[in-house]
């Protein structure tokens, strides 16, 4: 069996975004999606992560709750998905589909775009209960 490639991970993430409820789908259309095997080393260093397998996804940008009409964007709001850590966690869990795994990471990072903290997300997303 061949491991899912970058394109497959991107297709699942894009379908996840397309399947969002209309109010959220509209808000997600301005977010860029980038899928890579691993986070770049400079990005890992910037956020203080040594092991690249620890980061399955990341949101970079200004959360909607902090945006102002006066803001001059320096870069597009972006959801980063990291294929190898996603696949590693998917295999370790063994009780979720690849689609569920990618959808979870995608929605988690979108929630940061909407201005939710990890604590806010944890109150509605009981992902750890699948361990």
Q: Are 35 and 81 in contact (CB under 8 A)?
A: yes
- The per-residue pLDDT for range 56-108, each reduced to its tens digit, is 999 999 888 888 777 776 788 999 999 999 999 999 998 899 999 999 999 99
Tell me whether residue 127 is in a domain: no
Residues 58/80, Cβ–Cβ less than 8 Å: yes
- Count how many domains the chain has: 1
pTM value > 0.85? yes
Q: Where residue 99 sits, what CATH number does that domain have?
A: 3.30.2010.20
On whether residue 68 sits in a domain, the answer given is: no
């Amino acid at each position: 069996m061949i491991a899912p490639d970058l394109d497959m991970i991107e297709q699942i993430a894009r379908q996840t975004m397309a399947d969002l409820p209309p109010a959220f789908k509209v808000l997600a259309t301005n977010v860029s999606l980038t899928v890579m095997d691993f986070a770049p080393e400079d990005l890992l260093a910037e956020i203080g992560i040594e092991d690249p397998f620890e980061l399955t996804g990341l949101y970079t940008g200004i959360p909607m709750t902090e945006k102002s009409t006066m803001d001059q964007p320096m870069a597009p709001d972006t959801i980063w998905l990291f294929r190898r850590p996603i696949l590693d966690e998917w295999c370790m869990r063994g009780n979720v589909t690849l689609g569920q795994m990618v959808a979870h990471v995608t929605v988690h990072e979108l929630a940061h775009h909407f201005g939710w903290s990890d604590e806010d997300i944890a109150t509605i997303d009981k992902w750890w209960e699948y361990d």
